[in-house]
Chains A and B, each alone.
Chain A
Amino acid sequence: MAEPSLDIRQPLLDSLLAGLIALVVFGPIVGVVLDGYSFHLESSRVAWIVGAVMLGRFLLSLFLHSAGGRGWLQRLEGGGAGVQVLPPEHRSHLRWLLPLVLLAAVVFPFFAGKYLLTVVILGLIYVLLGLGLNIVVGLAGLLDLGYVAFYAIGAYGLALGYEYLGLGFWSVLPLAALMAALAGALLGFPVLRMHGDYLAIVTLGFGEIIRLVLNNWLSFTGGPNGMSVPAPTFLGLEFGRRARDGGVPFHEFFGIAYNPNLKFLFIYVVLLLTVLLVLYVKGRLVRMPIGRAWEALREDEIACRAMGLNHVLVKLSAFMLGASTAGLAGVFFASYQGFVNPTSFTFFESALILAIVVLGGMGSTLGVVLAAFMLTVAPELLRSFADYRVLLFGMLMVLMMIWRPRGLIRISRRGFARRPGVAP
């Protein structure tokens, strides 16, 4: 355009076109009202709707043609374009936000009811799962469609460990992480030499195998009936109104009134601490050689091998660490539900966790935390839409792929201050 002034013709044309389409769409639906066997025309309603559409479209195109609108559009489209490297002296604005979020997390249980507490616990469990899968998919670039298997190993680890070995929450927590990592290694070592699609299919199969075994090994896992899980304890103190075997329950020991939410409060606190720990470890990992190796492997496996990295071991470490995080999440899930059965570990669950990672932006920690809450807490709060959950979910994914294929949060890489180059 030669002159900087607004060009009014294009918005007018746009609005005319939109009006025409609105007329075709709404005319028969809104304008023709059946009345017994005859009908009458409601032209004023149609006129209102078409008018509103035309005005809206006109204003929208006017805005998008103005300088401000163009800039906004560019930002929207450019924002998802890729990765940026931050300047070395960059300090994130989020460091002001972090203490506030922590404070909110600490005071939250004092005001929340049991329902809200359980919803947030579920959200935090998915944060844990998302962070774990983010290592595998987001950082190392290995498509794992059977991630839920490791989650199941953690959950059933607690149930089976209690049933057959008499283990409790605290002893299973580290054991489950170890067991899941071991399962990851056993699955990973033979299959990690494969590439993208093959790996996805093998992991998908692994997830289903674990679920089918849990479902069909009636004598060991209780099959579809599931198994009960013990409530967690704190230094051996139980959270029920009465302790079994003549012990002293938590509230009597500390001389406070009995609160039926105590068990969930306890899970919330331990879970929150675990999530913070995992967040910290994740933050360190991406600055460590192993994290850099994962990302390099995602970028170019052949170049990695030429740099002396053993690609199988690098992949295996990502797989194992991701799996152990899922194992932890499984233990929390089992004690939160007080019961486990195989229906909690279907492929849909794997897909949901993968969606969290994709939505959050591959490799972005903050994005994963936000997405985990969006995809788990929002459906709980919008219970009336429960039937449409999967539909909404699918639409969200399609929109994301169009507008923000790289995820909600733009990935930024750390910049380094200049060092004097010293001869080797």
Chain B
Amino acid sequence: MAATVGIPRALLYYQYYPAWEAFFRTLGAEIVLSADTSKSILDQGVRLAVEEACLPVKLFLGHVADLRDKGVDMLFIPRMVSVEAKKYYCPKFLGLPEIVRCCVPDLPEILSPEINIAKKPARTVAELRRLAARFDRRPRVIDRALAAAKEAHAAYKTLLQSGCTPLEALNGERADSRRGEIRVAVLGHVYNVNDRYFNCNLLAKLRELEVEIVTAEMLPAEAAACGGKWLQKESFWSFGHELLGAGCYLLQEKSVQGVILVAAFGCGPDSLICELIARYYRRFSAIPVLLLTLDEHSGEAGLVTRLEAFIDMLRRRVAV
């Protein structure tokens, strides 16, 4: 029987799952995903994590516990350090394998290759090959697994640029191509914008309200570079770089009628990045910005009311 590899449906799952899936499938491993986020997963995560941790990390721990209870043979929790020069993921990603090991008891083996493509490309590939060899020793198959991962990632990115959200792409749903009369940017970390339970189904609500959604993933590649130009310093976080870039790009283009910033309670980088985006919009435009901070208690009712009020206001502005 093939070994089962558990992948938590949280954090970078939303960014890299197609690549990870292609990699492990080619190697003949069986993938087990944790369940969709639910109240019990959230509660579990909150219980396991230190109180000060941000909610997305707490959620991640909940998903890990879910996989443990499913009895997977191993867990895949890569140490995502950096994928572009001079940019990192958040410190918590750098220490994620250890955080998981210390906070969640009775875990199976954790596979945690270090992904540091910018600084240590050769070592990153070597770690991935070593990992692959545990499933299939044939170099030819390993080469194929790496190539398949790359290809799947590229295809995923192209799909996202065509206007469907990561969640829709991952679930194989077709993008709702309805064009609303207003266009709203939803800017936030991919795992906050696409976790339906955590954000009370934000994207679907917007689609229901006939709003056309723009996320950072849908913008052309050059958008990200906008942020650095405005700030005179580039963000050293990949996410921050992407979000600031998207914010500044859309501000320059003036192609959206409103912006929704989605931040997670307790997130360090968000506290600064969202602040900067909001300031720039206030200073240089009349485009309204709504800041949604997601926390464990953000009730659906409250969120919907705020969202509807915001969209109503945008509609009135467009009408005048």
A and B bind: no
What is A's interface to B at a CB cutoff of 8 Å?
A: none
Binding site for A on B (CB under 8 A): none
